[in-house]
Amino acid sequence: MITQGVQGLKDVPDLLDQVRRYDAFTPNNDPYGEHDFGQITLEGTTFFWKIDYYDLDLHMHSPDPSDETVTARVLTIMLAEEY
């Protein structure tokens, strides 16, 4: 999912590629080792991406995010100011 602020940008394919290749996780920005949040700067604009873990109906958080049989993972990419 991309936010309204991201939808109108011309560099969406480049942004998606950077999210796909993101590997700048450190103990400071990923203290639990979940790799579920990141920050990217593209042509001077800062973006955040995050992964949320929902139940399969997408109504509430998953009862067990580690269990793919009860979890739907949703990736959201947004402008930093939309966070």
- How much is the pLDDT for 45? 96
- Give Cα 73 distance to the centre of its chain: 10
- How much is the pLDDT for 78? 98
Give the number of domains in the chain: 1
- How much is the pLDDT for 20? 97
pLDDT per residue as tens digits for the range 3-14: 999 998 988 999
pLDDT per residue as tens digits for the range 23-52: 999 999 999 999 999 999 999 999 999 999
- Using 50, 70 and 90 to split pLDDT, how confident is the model at 21? very high
- How much is the pLDDT for 8? 87
d(CA 38, CA 47): 8
The arithmetic mean of pLDDT across residues 12-20, rounded, is 96
The domain in which residue 55 lies consists of 4-82
Q: How high is the mean pLDDT of the chain? A: 95
Mention every residue, 6+ apart, whose C-beta is less than 8 A from residue 52: 36, 61, 73, 74, 76
d(CA 16, CA 48): 12
